[in-house]
């Protein structure tokens, strides 16, 4: 999970852990990229779209440009869920795009991407 907000730490992380997922949090995109580039392996990457200094679209594009990381599924989370944003996410390399507060949708997306 990559985001700097308490939402991920306090709400989403516990929900995912309760669903059986191991969760590693990064407080921003640079920290997330550092974990990925250090060789840590992840079944999927969740990222917020609205982040400072590097938004989720830019984060996904950076991951897709790295051949070692390019195959890892990326799920974007956002409060902005409209056709234009979803298309922008697809172009950036997201495997799925889920509304931030749609917990069942997120669990379904994770199951689809990690099975």
Q: Which domain holds residue 106?
A: 6-114
* Number of domains, the chain: 1
Q: What is the pLDDT of residue 94?
A: 96
Q: What is the pLDDT of residue 5?
A: 63
Which CATH number belongs to the domain containing residue 26 in this structure?
Answer: 3.40.50.2300
Does residue 80 belong to any structural domain of this protein? yes
Q: What is the pLDDT of residue 30?
A: 92
Q: What is the pLDDT of residue 61?
A: 97
Q: Which residues pair with 45 in a beta bridge?
A: 74
Q: What is the pLDDT of residue 52?
A: 82
Does residue 1 belong to any structural domain of this protein? no
In the chain, which stretches have pLDDT less than 70? 1-7
Q: What is the pLDDT of residue 80?
A: 83
Q: What is the pLDDT of residue 45?
A: 94
Q: What is the pLDDT of residue 2?
A: 55
């Amino acid at each position: 999970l990559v985001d700097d907000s308490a939402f991920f730490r306090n709400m989403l992380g516990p929900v995912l852990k309760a669903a059986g997922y191991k969760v590693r949090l990064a407080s921003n995109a640079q920290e997330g990229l550092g974990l990925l580039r250090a060789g840590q392996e992840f079944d999927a990457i969740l990222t917020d779209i609205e982040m400072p200094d590097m938004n989720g679209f830019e984060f996904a594009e950076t991951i897709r440009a790295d051949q070692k990381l390019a195959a890892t599924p990326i799920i974007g989370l956002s409060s902005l869920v409209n056709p234009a944003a979803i298309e922008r996410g697809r172009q950036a390399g997201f495997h799925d795009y889920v509304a931030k507060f749609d917990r069942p949708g997120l669990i379904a997306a994770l199951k689809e991407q990690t099975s």
